[in-house]
Amino acid sequence: MDVISVIRTKRDRGELTPEHIDWVIDAYTRGEVAHEQMSSLAMAIFLNGMTRKEIARWTAAMIASGDRMDFSSLTRPTADKHSTGGVGDKITLPLAPLVAACGAAVPQLSGRGLGHTGGTLDKLEAIPGWRANLTNAEMLGVLDSVGSVICAAGDGLAPADKKLYALRDVTGTVESIPLIASSIMSKKIAEGTGSLVLDVKVGSGAFMKNITDARELASTMVGLGTDHGVRTTALLTDMATPLGRTAGNALEVRESVEVLAGGGPADVVELTLALAREMLDAAGLPDADPAKALADGTAMDHWRRMIRAQGGDPDAPLPTARETHVVPAPQTGVLTTLDAYAVGLAAWRLGAGRARKEDPVQAGAGIELHAKPGDAVVAGQPLLTLHTDTPDTFDYALKGLDSAYGIAPAGTEFTRGPIVLDRIA
């Protein structure tokens, strides 16, 4: 077997054999296949696609490159959620303790933000003392005692995907449905959860800009999960507008705590409950009532226990940015659009995100949204507030917001679209 033959097969629109796939994934993980060779193969896959048979074998080979976790010692059924990434997407923070409060165990392996999309671990690291890196034994201990854990994946979990993900990010091959699907599902299947709910974002702030591509990605991932014995469903959800009223790390933690306290933005609450019901149903707990767990404080109790179990102080003040800048509404009327990508890009420029995995982030940086589409706005009143420790970034961030919103004359009728666009099972 040689890598040039494998590259040529896919370059010429051929179908890779199981032997091709097993060999190239193993050889790349061991360093026998060079980065430039794998980047060539990734581009060939990006351009020519893969059959379902190829995607399934590619995913299996990445799972086989490392360890598989085992939660069979737990007395609760396991359920996990994965989001394909968006702007203001803090759903994991209230969702994990909420589902745990309803009787399931939630082993949530999360990632960091890159570019305009936020990362769950970056958000939680705004909490003083909180630790993302746990050993497998520590993770199992928190799951057993609290019911939910949010942490980084260990180095032994699908190491082939870790190498390939970093390569795709710098070679323009991120937006490949076969590579996205196999990347997500190799980690989730290796994680060992019994059931999985996928939140596939659709819109300007998502990787999938239209619902046709989102359906294809969701169907591919649901098929991969099902083929590997993981009960998998997917919700297609709107990401044309940021979720909630904040984009940024500490800002989103604060908003998540509001949701757990029984308040918070309506769209965040709606999506949190929709995903919680999916997870509980998949875990065999269809009669559990997540709305009740939010209202009676049990979800908040689980949040506080989970944060403490990972070294964090749930009562500590969250970081705030040293500088703010208010963007006023330029006219009176009805806000009709607020582009998720533009808001995410501006938050990244303020320091809330990173261009490379090794870059630091500012805990307090981000954007507050004082209005959402459908809300009335008044000329001169705050529309957005920008937060950062580096005020020299304000001008750069503001350039990305020039065409981020639209305002129609007062009295214009506006109908908000649904948050959940479709369900794939």
- 210, 299: one domain: yes
Shared domain for 192 and 283, answered yes or no, is: yes
- pLDDT at residue 357 is higher than 80: no
Higher pLDDT pick, 174 / 263: 263
The CA distance from 168 to 351, in Å, is 23
Give yes or no: residues 281 and 357 share one domain.
Answer: no
Specify the CATH number for the domain of residue 342.
3.90.1170.30
One domain, residues 363 and 392: yes
DSSP secondary structure code for residue 78 in this structure: B
Residue 60, in any domain of the structure: no
Count how many Cα atoms sit within 13 Å of the Cα of residue 203 in the half-sphere of its side chain: 27
Q: Are 39 and 171 in contact (CB under 8 A)?
A: yes
**Same-domain status, 202 and 146:** yes
Task: Determine the distance from the C-alpha atom of residue 102 to the mean position of all C-alpha atoms in its chain, rounded to a whole number.
Answer: 22
Distance CA 407, CA 333 (A): 6
Number of helices (H) and strands (E) in the chain: give both, helices first.
16, 13
Cα–Cα dist 294/100, whole Å:
12
pLDDT at 409 over 90: yes
The DSSP bridge pattern shows strands 382-388 and 366-369 to be antiparallel
* pLDDT given for residue 206 in this prediction: 93
Q: Is the pLDDT of residue 180 over 90?
A: yes
Q: Tell me the pLDDT of the chain averaged across its residues.
A: 95
Q: Are residues 267 and 293 in the same domain?
A: yes
What whole-number percentage of the chain has pLDDT above 90? 90
Asked if 123 and 248 sit in the same domain, the reply is yes
Residue 59 in any domain: the answer is no
Judge whether 72 and 195 are in contact, CB under 8 Å: no
Each residue's pLDDT tens digit, 100-127: 999 999 999 998 887 788 899 999 999 9
36 located within any domain:
yes
- Whether 218 has a pLDDT exceeding 90, the answer reads yes
Position 422 in a domain: no
Token reading at 319: 């970081």
Is 217 among the domain residues?
Answer: yes
Angle between helices 35-48 and 159-171 (to 10 degrees): 70
Q: Is 242 helix (H, G, I), strand (E, B) or coil?
A: coil
Residue 174: band (very low, low, confident or very high) from pLDDT cuts 50, 70, 90: confident
Active site residues: 82, 161, 168, 183, 187
Contact 407, 219 (CB under 8 A): no
Instruction: Provide the greatest CA pair distance for the chain.
Output: 68
**12 class by beta-carbon count within 10 Å (0-12 exposed, 13-18 middle, 19+ buried):** exposed
Residue 211 lies in a domain: yes
d(C-alpha 21, C-alpha 61), whole Å = 7
CATH of the domain at 26: 1.20.970.10
Total residues belonging to the chain? 425
d(CA 120, CA 89): 8
CATH number at residue 232: 3.40.1030.10
Tokens of 336: 């009709």
Confirm whether 165 is domain-assigned.
Answer: no
Q: Is the pLDDT of residue 58 over 90?
A: yes
**Residue 17, number of CB atoms within 10 A of its CB:** 15
pTM recorded for the entire structure: 0.94
Q: Is residue 424 part of a domain?
A: no
Tokens of 114: 């890159």
247 and 372 in a single domain? The answer is no
The whole domain housing 25 covers 3-49
Q: How many CA atoms lie within 13 A of 170 on its CB side?
A: 10
Instruction: Return the percent helix, strand and coil in the chain, to nearest 5.
Output: 45, 15, 40
* Number of domains the chain is built from: 3
Same domain, 272 and 246: yes
Q: Which of 184, 187, 186 is nearest to 200 (CA)?
A: 184
Rounded mean pLDDT, 329-333? 98
Cβ atoms of 422 and 236 closer than 8 Å: yes
140 and 213, same domain (yes or no): yes
One domain for residues 277 and 333: no
Contact yes or no for 216/395 (Cβ under 8 A): no
Rounded Cα distance, 113 and 249, in Å: 10
Write down the pLDDT at residue 116: 84
> What is the distance between the alpha carbons of residues 369 and 99, in angstroms, rounded to a whole number?
28
Is the Cα dihedral 245, 249, 254, 258 positive or negative?
A: positive
φ/ψ (deg, to 5) at 151: -155, 175
Assess whether 285 and 221 both reside in one domain.
yes
